[in-house]
Structure 1
Amino acid sequence: MVKKVAILGSSGGNLYFLGGKDPDRLLDELLLQTEAAGMVCTSLQFIAAKASMDSAKDDTPAELYSWNEDMAKPLVIAQGTLAEVNEAAVLLDADIAAKITNGDIDALIFMSADPAGTNRKAVEAAAIKKIPATGTGGTSMAAVSAKGVNVISTSGTTGTTNRTRAVTFLTSLSKHFGLSYKPVIGKPDTSGQKDQLNSRPYQRINIRGMMLSSLPGFIAMALILALSKIPVFTGLGDVFDLMINALPVILAVVAAKQVADLDNVSIVAGVIAGVLSVKGGIIGGIIGGILAGLLVHYIFRKCVEWRFPATTVNIAAGGIAGLISGLAVFFVISPIALQLGEGIRSLLDFLVSYNSTIAGLIAGLLIWPAIIGGVYHAAILPIVLLEMERTGNSFLGAVDMAGLVMVSAGITLANIVSPRDKGEAAVAVPGFAINMGFGTFVEAAYPFMFSNKLIFAGAIISSGLGGLLVGFFDVRGTAYVPSFMAPLLSNNMTGFIIAMAGSLLCSFFITLTLNKLSGNNKSKESLKNQQNELAG
């Protein structure tokens, strides 16, 4: 038989600041984990006030959530002042108590409940039926237990999140009923599958995703570097040095959250691990964050199985996981990670110093096939970030801007000026604007490149020219910033402007020429068809 669960409580005092002020998200997470445990929610009484219950008054606005059986979802059934909503909640409490008495509810989940008020009858019925209950809210759960309810686990609210509370509740109930429970992350996808917290978390490790998510931190560092070159802002040089040390922390936090995805718990673990991984550079930060995420997952699950209070679970998972992984990187992995990063940078520096012009040309010719083939984000972007970690800009970053962004901008601009048909101009305008304004969205050129092999070839040629110019002027720069700002973030502003302008104009004129030739061919063909029709 499927176990039926009732959820009782309120947005609470401390809980209000830890998820209670957004009841929809709080309940969604709880219902998601309930479903994952193979149970169903059949009753709900949740009072959501517009202020913490510690300071709420009778005239504080509030809503009452109940369970709609037909729609199988929570719905607001009463709105008004807290006093009015409490009156409606007392009536709902009687209905839930009757269900408990009739054996229609198998377990209770309490969150900042009121066992002496709006939940009194349900608590009394639960004490008589001896059904299992779990929940958070130190004072309220103590009162629930004192009334004779079979409380199988309890905890305070401090340090918890919507997800950690829900997982703790359902783990306790599943263990009590002897059910198999695999916590899930997020909503089911289109195939109906869910990402399970306890099924091989290492499968969620995605280096490319970590790099992309951390990119804003690298761009912020590049902006600080550019500003520090202005006489009035020379003091920002110390800020730049500080931000370099912050990069491993950023990557560690992103990695830990990606692997564990336990909200603030994984974030805290990532911060601790990242701070201790600074000496290992960004590679050390990534390793520390991954280890922290794996340990958060393991420690969290074990603590819940051992029925630790939810607050203690969060403290242990976040703090201990961060310390263990961070210390491992600090004492063992940092030197290796630092040498690996230096080795990659040294190899690139050697290739560029051997003949920077040829190196730029080759990089420019290969960068379009690399991004189309999925190699760019997996291999080139990490190298760009490794370069930026040391100097704030990058040789391959400059090739990215000149060879990808500017070439895409040139192709889209040509299709604005002289499109093959009117519809293509409408497609090209936003692409050109985003490339120039944000230094990204090179995919805007794909429709034109894929529809004409000569335009595709022109893109590669133009990119090769841009890379060649980057190498010739020995430019270090970055993409992902507005085009007018990119030269300011480089080591050679004039050289970067020439390289960017060269690749943009080259792709523009190649595409423009091909579009005009295509238009002329269409006109000749149309004229020929008209002549044939007249002759017929």
Structure 2
Amino acid sequence: MGTLTLPVVRMSVVLIGSSGGGTATLGHTDPAELLNTIHQELLKVEDASGITSALFVSLHGGKGFDSACDTDKATLYSVSEGSGGECSVQVVKSGKLKDVNQRCVELDKALAQQIFKGEITGLICISCDVDVHSSTLKAAAEKKLPVTGSGGTSLSAASSKFGIHLVGNAGGSVATTSYTRAVSYTHALATAWAKRYRPFASQRHVPQWTSILCACLPAFWAVALACRALNLVMPLLSDPATLRKLLILLQTHALPTVCSVVMATSLAPHHGSTVLMSSALASVLCERSVLGGLSAGWLVATLAQRVLYGCIAWDVPATMTNLVVAGGLGVFVALTIAPVVPYFQLLTELIRQIIHTVLDGRFPGVGFLFGVLFCWGSKYGYYHAVCLPLILIEMETGTGALCGSIDEATLVCVSAGICLANLVVTPSLDDQGIDETLALSQRGLRINLLFGDFIEAAYPFMEKSHVVNIAGYLASGLSTELLTGASELVLSSAYLPLPLAILLAKDPFRVSVAFAVAFTLSFLGALASNLLNRRDQSETEKKT
């Protein structure tokens, strides 16, 4: 006889409830996000089907149910049967709370029938109204379903009125997030079912540190401009004490905090505001060190999941769990990272010193070579991996960067010069029409000069013509050579309008000359190439 194979019993969950009392924040106001987060976490349990049915009422405008009245606007949400992907959240009814609740009562009876038929193996209650959901709660009590959830008042009322079987650390929801609650509910039900729960099973994309540093560019850009403006304004004031405090904060804490928050939220986006708060706290002792901020954010993101699950596994209530992860973990990481921060400061200072020493003008030709390599690197995929991170490390303490000025010269001005030449004399390109060439060049010229971006506009023309390519590299090298020898006076930033990039430097004249050389040489080279192409094309047409 063959071996008898028993069918696998799928663990199915019903969710009932509302956006709750108080201010209904931290996930309550986005029902789709909340339900999907819980559904995805339930799927990490052995033989679980996630949320198969749900009735969730949310008040409009983020209002809490503590002060709700029958005439308030509300929406009733439901879900289709859970699957391997996101559950499909649907709007069942929207209108006055009284009418929405009436519809919810009707649908609640259908949920109760599912429980009586044995189709449901677990119940999650989130700030549920025990009168609206009386049918489901009675059925859950009679079938002895494991019940978990949050919202202390409603759970206490449901337990005393219906005798439901509460499991796990079901309780209050103050200061919790969607993810905290999802882990809490899932662990409670998995334990009650005696099923294996794998909270670390999901494989998430982990961005590189350099990518995260580059993502912080807006903050570096703003801090450098603000610090430059404050340094210009303060000597004109009789009492600049307030501005001086602001300057110090910008130079010491703004960028490490931003780097920490962006790192943590990039690596652990599912934790939401929890890692945001924790990473902000973790960065307080990382003054003048963006590497310290990045490391603090990385530690928060790495430890948050473990600490959160550890608290839930030890039956720590969800609210206290979030207090530990969002608050206690941040302070712990700050104290842990503090002894290492001075070494990070030395490392980034060493990088700055190497750049400025190599380009201090004592070695003729080094600046030229550096400019050529900078231009070459941007064309062949090294810009975001090497060039931009070097610029940001230079700007760590709120100053401009020598590599920032080189960026504007070798990339922005070179690209703008080539684009202008194409508008003066349109090149002859076999695979690109005149209209497309003119449109690309117009856009490239405008964006490069006014916004310090779109250097890629020149790449197709550099690749098509050796003359344009050589002119671009020559312009990059000579302009960089002109920037060497007085690095502290020519610090600027990438992604700035050309006039603003000039004003950011302490020696605007020297920067202007370098930018003008880069623009003019690339313009002349591209112009010559276009004229030669036109001549060759004309001669070919005469022969034919």
Q: Which residue number in structure 2 is paired with residue 532 of structure 1?
A: none
Task: Give the Cα–Cα distance (whole angstroms) in 2 for the partners of residues 416 and 55 of structure 1.
Answer: 65
Q: Does 2:72 match 1:60?
A: yes
Map 1:360-439; keep pairs closer than 5 Å. 360-390=367-397, 392-420=399-427, 421-439=434-452
2:186 to 142, 153, 170: 170
Q: Which residue number in structure 2 is paired with residue 219 of structure 1?
A: 221
Map 1:275-314; keep pairs closer than 5 Å. 275-278=284-287, 281-314=289-322
Query: How far is the alpha carbon of 1:399 from its aligned partner?
Result: 0.4
CA contact (8 A) 1:363 1:396 kept: no
> Which residue identity is paired with 1:264?
S
Q: Which residue number in structure 2 is paired with residue 189 of structure 1?
A: none
Corresponding residue SS for 1:230: helix
Corresponding residue SS for 1:275: coil
> Which residue identity is paired with 1:218?
F
Q: 1:70 to 1:528 in 2, by over 3 A?
A: farther
> Which residue identity is paired with 1:432?
L
Q: Which residue number in structure 1 is paired with residue 263 of structure 2?
A: 255
CA contact (8 A) 1:14 1:157 kept: no
Task: Give the Cα–Cα distance (whole angstroms) in 2 for the partners of residues 237 and 359 of structure 1.
Answer: 38
Q: Does 2:248 match 1:241?
A: yes
2:57 to 35, 43, 47: 47
TM-score, normalised to structure 2, is: 0.87
Query: How far is the alpha carbon of 1:484 from its aligned partner?
Result: 1.9
> Which residue identity is paired with 1:135?
G
Query: How far is the alpha carbon of 1:140 from its aligned partner?
Result: 1.2
Task: Give the Cα–Cα distance (whole angstroms) in 2 for the partners of residues 114 and 31 of structure 1.
Answer: 22
Q: 1:467 to 1:58 in 2, by over 3 A?
A: same
Query: How far is the alpha carbon of 1:356 from its aligned partner?
Result: 7.1
Q: 1:152 to 1:381 in 2, by over 3 A?
A: same
1:89 to 104, 108, 124: 104
Q: Which residue number in structure 2 is paired with residue 340 of structure 1?
A: 347
2:145 to 102, 120, 131: 131
CA contact (8 A) 2:410 2:476 kept: yes
Q: Does 2:105 match 1:105?
A: no
Query: How far is the alpha carbon of 1:181 from its aligned partner?
Result: 4.1
Task: Give the Cα–Cα distance (whole angstroms) in 2 for the partners of residues 389 and 237 of structure 1.
Answer: 18
CA contact (8 A) 2:175 2:322 kept: yes
Query: How far is the alpha carbon of 1:472 from its aligned partner?
Result: 5.5
Corresponding residue SS for 1:16: coil
Aligned residues: 512
1:349 to 351, 356, 361: 356
More moved, 487-496 vs 94-103: 487-496
Q: Does 2:516 match 1:501?
A: yes
> Which residue identity is paired with 2:302?
L
> Which residue identity is paired with 1:510?
G
CA contact (8 A) 1:357 1:470 kept: no
Query: How far is the alpha carbon of 1:119 from its aligned partner?
Result: 1.1
Q: 1:11 to 1:414 in 2, by over 3 A?
A: farther
Q: Which residue number in structure 2 is paired with residue 272 of structure 1?
A: 281
CA offsets 1:459-492 (integer angstroms, 9 cap, x no match): 2222112212222564211112222211111121
Q: Does 2:159 match 1:145?
A: yes
Query: How far is the alpha carbon of 1:180 from its aligned partner?
Result: 4.3
CA contact (8 A) 2:278 2:329 kept: yes
CA offsets 1:57-101 (integer angstroms, 9 cap, x no match): 211111111234599622112121111111100001101011111
TM-score, normalised to structure 1, is: 0.88
Task: Give the Cα–Cα distance (whole angstroms) in 2 for the partners of residues 425 and 495 of structure 1.
Answer: 32
2:176 to 155, 160, 172: 160
Query: How far is the alpha carbon of 1:302 from its aligned partner?
Result: 1.4
Corresponding residue SS for 1:278: coil
CA contact (8 A) 1:58 1:82 kept: yes
Identity %: 32
CA contact (8 A) 1:221 1:240 kept: no
CA offsets 1:25-76 (integer angstroms, 9 cap, x no match): 3233333333444423221111121132122221111111123459962211
Query: How far is the alpha carbon of 1:517 from its aligned partner?
Result: 2.6
Q: Which residue number in structure 1 is paired with residue 230 of structure 2?
A: 228
Name whichever structure is richer in helix by fraction. Answer: 1
Task: Give the Cα–Cα distance (whole angstroms) in 1 for the partners of residues 539 and 159 of structure 2.
Answer: 89
Task: Give the Cα–Cα distance (whole angstroms) in 1 for the partners of residues 194 and 283 of structure 2.
Answer: 39
Task: Give the Cα–Cα distance (whole angstroms) in 2 for the partners of residues 314 and 353 of structure 1.
Answer: 52
CA offsets 1:400-445 (integer angstroms, 9 cap, x no match): 1111122222223333443332212223333333322322232233
1:122 to 136, 153, 156: 136
More moved, 284-293 vs 100-109: 284-293
Q: 1:357 to 1:301 in 2, by over 3 A?
A: farther
Query: How far is the alpha carbon of 1:11 from its aligned partner?
Result: 1.8
Task: Give the Cα–Cα distance (whole angstroms) in 1 for the partners of residues 73 and 257 of structure 2.
Answer: 41
CA offsets 1:207-238 (integer angstroms, 9 cap, x no match): 21221122222212211222124347663444
Task: Give the Cα–Cα distance (whole angstroms) in 2 for the partners of residues 161 and 70 of structure 1.
Answer: 22
Structure 1: 5+ residue runs without aligned partners?
186-193, 197-202, 530-536
CA contact (8 A) 1:463 1:503 kept: yes
CA contact (8 A) 2:10 2:49 kept: yes
Q: Which residue number in structure 2 is paired with residue 191 of structure 1?
A: none
Query: How far is the alpha carbon of 1:497 from its aligned partner?
Result: 1.6
> Which residue identity is paired with 1:95?
A
CA offsets 1:108-133 (integer angstroms, 9 cap, x no match): 12221112x21111011111111122
Task: Give the Cα–Cα distance (whole angstroms) in 1 for the partners of residues 466 and 172 of structure 2.
Answer: 64
CA contact (8 A) 1:106 1:131 kept: yes
CA contact (8 A) 1:473 1:495 kept: no
Q: 1:84 to 1:382 in 2, by over 3 A?
A: same
Corresponding residue SS for 1:155: coil
Structure 2: 5+ residue runs without aligned partners?
1-8, 428-433
More moved, 152-161 vs 347-356: 347-356
CA offsets 1:314-344 (integer angstroms, 9 cap, x no match): 11122232222211222x2123222222222
Query: How far is the alpha carbon of 1:385 from its aligned partner?
Result: 2.3
> Which residue identity is paired with 1:282?
V
Q: Which residue number in structure 1 is paired with residue 503 of structure 2?
A: 488
CA contact (8 A) 2:360 2:486 kept: no
Q: Which residue number in structure 2 is paired with residue 30 of structure 1?
A: 38
CA contact (8 A) 1:357 1:471 kept: no
> Which residue identity is paired with 2:329?
A
Corresponding residue SS for 2:65: coil
Q: Which residue number in structure 1 is paired with residue 17 of structure 2?
A: 9
